Structure 1
Amino acid sequence: MTSDNTVGYHRTWQRSVDADTRADFWLEAAQAIDWITPPRVALEERSPGTWRWFPDGELNTSYNALDRHVLAGRGNQTAVIYDSAMSGTRIRISYLELLGRVSRFAGVLRENGVGRGDRVIVYLPMIPEAIVAMLACARIGAVHSVVFGGFAASELAVRIDDARPTVIVTASGGLEPGRAVEYLPLVQRAMAQSAGSVRTVIVRDREMIPGRAADYAGADGVAWLDWADEEAKATPADPVALRSEDPLYILYTSGTTGNPKGIVRDNGGHAVALAWSMRNIYAAGVGDVFWAASDVGWVVGHSYIVYAPLLVGATTVIYEGKPIGTPDAGAFWRVVEDYTVKVLFTAPTAIRAIRRVDPELRELEKYDVSSLHGLFLAGERLDPETYHWANDGLHCPVVDHWWQTETGWAICANPRGIAELETKPGSATFPVPGYDVVILDSKGKPVTRVGKDGNIAIRLPLPPGNLLGIWGSEERFASAYLSAFPGFYATGDSGHFDDEGYLYVMGRTDDVINVAGHRLSTGSLEEVLTLHPAVAECAVLGVHDPLKGQRAAGFVTLKAGASIDHDTLAKELIALVREHVGPVAAFRDVTILERLPKTRSGKILRKTIRQIVDGEPYTVPPTIEDPATLDALTLAVHGARNALGH
């Protein structure tokens, strides 16, 4: 396939990764940021596996997100729209108002002993104060570590002990459908379980949730302060100059050993990459309304609720609610209409949830979503059936793009600000400029056969905005990501390129199963199951088989209103797999569930499902959305075993 669009993309991509032109490419991109000391050097490679972007540059990320827009005369433009489907609250905050709040809260932190390089844990629900706290840390050079509000005390304690913060910023609690989650008892228990680095807890009072700072005053020698009281008397803080490589934040992601890895992001490379991505991937800029329907506790929330939209002068939406049930499957479309959202970024699981409840998109008919220029999906593989459903229903481009907590922004996408490329269902399109993506076999050799799955890797150095390392452990960074294939970053995902260079990400490398010597991609099997008109969502994973080593087991949920006997559905799904994949898949296990166990970010808990099926001990993940789904799965698995006489 050749076209002007494709040629233009390839020219841009080549310039961004070629050793002779890469520096000029990224120095030009850096001009979108206001620097205190503009960088003259784009990239400094210090040793194998160690590099820094814009090492001679100085800047302040908070200044770039706020002050410069006010100084440019856009202070009255809306910076943040807060929409709480849980409480009915709707607020617009201008750039000038947000700057005032961030400056004052930065003063609160400074007056409580927080300075450059100190760590602050932000443990907040989806409220504007989460954005304020993060930008306030960035303003004075503190390193924020956002922990998803409501995380278990033990998990919060682990992060306290790793990051060693002196201050925790929290709220009385968060709101979930039908219940309130009190945060302060969790914070107190976490501090009791940790080594004692925290000196101060600052609490944002939410009137509808019990718990006030005063209730805990004097406990364990820690100062518990009320946010509003401290903000009212604080002296605003000016932005400080930071080196490009100074850490902006630590964000924890699961580690293979069970200990979370603290991903470290820098200031300079992060700002440049996110500003570039807004214009070139999402085609969004000044005054556009950008909505990342995620949570600030995840990397999507960091990058595209907080930093990226504000860096380019857009309006960001912070939404406290769900895609369904708050109050119905039209919640997303209502927000799009109310605020003329231009770009919506969410997870495929959110769209599948809407599809399951409202397969005919009746709720969509109630709203005008013509402002929507693009729906971007990431976090889980986008199956072709869901792609077609969303594309046909919304009548706007649907872009499947692939990235990771570690990268901080997209590795592969359809870069709509460069060229509107042809999309292929099931593919994340092309590598984004800056990412030199290759497919490697188990020995680290390039896979040259078109369509053959292998390990997806990225040639070093990684582009700006990617992780600098693992907090407190350079060795862990190298062993986790750089040792498997020297000279490459191992993504941990498997996939292939087609004959036109489109990348297909088929799943994690441990989701490739071996059935009697035949390697099968669970992503491919899931594609087949979603072809059935009654299936809303599915997960396929490899479970232990004494004869074949592994066998594929499918777990499916049904669309609302689907009327089909479960035994009949199982037979039809088995026949579908036999037709599309062949008898080699030996697919015969189908379990029908009300809901799949997922994390709060929408990822299916595949490892935990496999452990339950294989009868292995497991720990309920702290990120789980609803622990009851594991109980239901266990009952379903035991019921199936009893029915078979096992």
Structure 2
Amino acid sequence: MGDYRQAYERSMRDPIGFWRDAAEAIDWVRAPERILDDSAAPIYRWYPDAELNTCFNALDRHVEAGRGEQPALIHDSPVTGVLRSYTYRELRDEVAVFAGALRNLGVERGDRVVIYMAMVPEAVVAMLACARIGAVHSVVFGGFGAKELAARIDDARPTVIVASSCGIEPARVVPYQPMLDAALDLAAHRPSRRIILQRPQHPFALGASDVDWADAVRDQAPVDCVPVAATDPLYLLYTSGTTGRPKGVVRDNGGHAVALRYSMKAVFAAGPGDVFWAASDVGWVVGHSYIVYAPLLTGATTVLYEGKPVGTPDASAFWRVVAQHGVTVMFTAPTAIRAIKKEDPEGTLLGGYDLSTLKCLFLAGERLDPETYAWAGARLGVPVIDNWWQTETGWPIAAGPRGLEELPTRAGSPSFPVPGYRVRVVDGSGEDVPAGADGAIVIGLPLPPGCLPTLWGDDERYVASYLSAFPGNYLTGDGGRFDADGYLYVMGRTDDVINVAGHRLSTGAMEEVLASHPAVAECAVFGVHDDLKGQVPRGLVVLKAGATVDPADLVALVREQIGAVAALRRVDVVAGLPKTRSGKILRGTMRGIADGRDQPVPSTIEDPAVLDALTPVLRGDRV
């Protein structure tokens, strides 16, 4: 067997030994003797008798090992013209001082701190400072609307809120005070204090309970790391798209540190001294895992980019960052690459930059269509690795594990389950389906370290939401299949599988066909109500710059490659698709409008004007 297969089979056969060995990469205050607590199954806890401090593992130990002068964090902000690098020693010192400031305001071990900030180094400092003193941070994406922010404040009940005065985008400044003040008016819980990072682009009018960041850290003595139980929560991260009480995903300290350190080595083939750039936001799980914690736990250099690297000022922004900072591993969403491809289909802008340091491009967050996969690989000349995971898991479920073995990749597939994940594809009764057949993707329990052990304050909801549909398994909510060689194909959320006259059809498969057309830059297919057939698919496509296409040709292409059973009758060419700020296409919102339902526009939408322009199209008017 190859190295990947050996590692995976061992993780299935001997998970205790496998994760005991992986834990040796972490510095423990009290090393684990008991690896897994299954006494409350189906809720499991990893390393229940161990103690550590995540901040120490991310910063202090690298300084103590003699690597204090290595860059830890590069802040690249073209929207403000700021470029700054922090060594491990500098970042540790700033974190230790801010941890003292939090403690002075009454934050103790186990208290929650809500962080509502732009993509600035202080956001990373605040997260690590919470970890340093054993507080639990809950980062809310900067610019989230007041209602969503209020719901998270009420659920987390923070002692302190840390906020920046504004966020900065290429074309505008976004003041945070109106949203933060409105959220606190709506919330039942009142934090005792707010720490405000003043940005010159839009100052914050401080109130009686507010403290200026600069004043909070002035003359503040640094504090040491506080040991916490491995099972203590490190952070809460709320999933998007929920109604009612939000789902607060809990991430523990011990399992999280072990899993992220393992993933950097096994999946991303990144080690100390590498420059890792996850082009995301710290408000999302990718930002938590692969902007902040995983690179720093590894001793790598992480890039924190403020701005939109695609479309403004041009499609070369990605390549400038890679060349300027010597990025070795880049991680972003397929949407970003599709946007670059649309603006620069021939990749001519790549020629202006030395990208020789780049070893690999990882893509995740949405389904990677074969056209984008092929374009990126051909233009960059490096491996393009799809990987699939969720907010709940915190690190990849399936990927091409470059650190274990360089396996061939296949278009449309995130390759194989990562060691630790017992991935299955099952039918409605929970039985495994044969290779090539579609079904629900589930993961056998226990989930590996680093995945959510529960939801904040609600074990019953955790079990009901994730562990009850297929007992003994975690329900991912995604559908897909394995092929005959064991490659996993994730075709989208199971609620995106549509039933047309009794035939279950994958909208992801139709999107794959549409995306293969040389004129198509982006596409979305979703099911809409049909009185006769129950549902029928609708397609929307965005074309590459200067391209034209007859929609009838796209319909014919789907019929040719999937068959008449696909029942796709209509494809519209549109100027843009509505997305959340994290880049996910709002298929559910578009489906609701097309069905004639009142569909509120999510406050996280990137550009509401796009949805407004699409509404008449979705309701039946031709472009």
TM-score range (shorter-chain normalised) is over 0.9
Q: Does 1:76 align with 2:69?
A: yes
1:34 to 24, 27, 50: 27
SS in 2 for 1:353: helix
Query: What residue is the counterpart of 1:419 in the other structure?
Result: 405
Residue 198 of structure 1 aligns to which amino acid in structure 2? P
Q: Determine what percentage of the aligned residue pairs are the same residue.
A: 61
Alignment of 1:389-408 (within 5 A): 389-408=375-394
Query: What residue is the counterpart of 1:14 in the other structure?
Result: 9
Distance in 2, Cα, partners of 1:194 & 1:258: 14
Distance in 1, Cα, partners of 2:292 & 2:386: 21
SS in 1 for 2:251: strand
Q: Does 1:536 align with 2:516?
A: no
Query: Is the contact made by 1:598 and 1:604 (CA closer than 8 Å) also made in structure 2?
Result: yes
Distance in 2, Cα, partners of 1:134 & 1:256: 24
SS in 2 for 1:216: coil
SS in 2 for 1:630: helix
1:304-354 Cα distance to aligned partner (Å, 9 max, x none): 000000001000000012132331000000000001100000001111111
1:299 to 285, 290, 301: 285
Query: What residue is the counterpart of 1:216 in the other structure?
Result: 206
Alignment of 1:64-143 (within 5 A): 64-143=57-136
Distance in 2, Cα, partners of 1:181 & 1:623: 14
1:182 to 175, 179, 182: 175
SS in 2 for 1:105: helix
SS in 2 for 1:341: coil
Query: Alpha-carbon deviation of 1:626?
Result: 1.2
1:334-379 Cα distance to aligned partner (Å, 9 max, x none): 0000011000000011111111111111211111111111100000
Query: Is the contact made by 1:323 and 1:353 (CA closer than 8 Å) also made in structure 2?
Result: no
1:539-580 Cα distance to aligned partner (Å, 9 max, x none): 00000011111001001101012134xxxx211001101100
Q: Does 1:354 align with 2:347?
A: no
1:270-321 Cα distance to aligned partner (Å, 9 max, x none): 0000000001110111110000000000000000000000001000000012
Query: Alpha-carbon deviation of 1:444?
Result: 1.1
Residue 411 of structure 1 aligns to which amino acid in structure 2? I
Q: Does 1:524 align with 2:514?
A: no
Distance in 2, Cα, partners of 1:185 & 1:586: 47
Distance in 2, Cα, partners of 1:40 & 1:123: 38
1:104-160 Cα distance to aligned partner (Å, 9 max, x none): 000000000000110000000101011000000000000000000011111111100
1:229-251 Cα distance to aligned partner (Å, 9 max, x none): 11112221110010000000000
Q: Does 1:511 align with 2:493?
A: no
Distance in 1, Cα, partners of 2:292 & 2:431: 39
Distance in 2, Cα, partners of 1:535 & 1:155: 35
SS in 1 for 2:137: strand
TM-score (norm 2): 0.99
1:388 to 374, 381, 403: 374
Query: What residue is the counterpart of 2:480 in the other structure?
Result: 495
Query: Alpha-carbon deviation of 1:533?
Result: 1.0
SS in 2 for 1:76: coil
Query: Alpha-carbon deviation of 1:258?
Result: 4.7
Q: Does 1:614 align with 2:571?
A: no
Query: Alpha-carbon deviation of 1:255?
Result: 5.3
Query: Is the contact made by 1:177 and 1:325 (CA closer than 8 Å) also made in structure 2?
Result: no
Query: Is the contact made by 1:86 and 1:326 (CA closer than 8 Å) also made in structure 2?
Result: no
Query: What residue is the counterpart of 1:278 in the other structure?
Result: 264
Residue 174 of structure 1 aligns to which amino acid in structure 2? G
Q: How many residues align?
A: 623
Distance in 1, Cα, partners of 2:236 & 2:5: 34
Query: Alpha-carbon deviation of 1:636?
Result: 2.5
Residue 334 of structure 1 aligns to which amino acid in structure 2? R
Residue 561 of structure 2 aligns to which amino acid in structure 1? H
Query: What residue is the counterpart of 1:371 in the other structure?
Result: 357
Query: Is the contact made by 2:315 and 2:344 (CA closer than 8 Å) also made in structure 1?
Result: yes
Please report the RMSD computed on the Cα atoms of aligned residues, expressed in angstroms.
Answer: 1.1
Q: Does 1:597 align with 2:578?
A: yes
Query: Alpha-carbon deviation of 1:642?
Result: 6.9
SS in 1 for 2:541: strand
Distance in 2, Cα, partners of 1:58 & 1:473: 24
Query: Is the contact made by 1:15 and 1:25 (CA closer than 8 Å) also made in structure 2?
Result: yes
Deviation >4 Å, runs of 4+? none
Query: Is the contact made by 1:557 and 1:596 (CA closer than 8 Å) also made in structure 2?
Result: yes
1:382-406 Cα distance to aligned partner (Å, 9 max, x none): 0011100000000000000000000
Query: Alpha-carbon deviation of 1:256?
Result: 4.7
Query: What residue is the counterpart of 2:219 in the other structure?
Result: 233
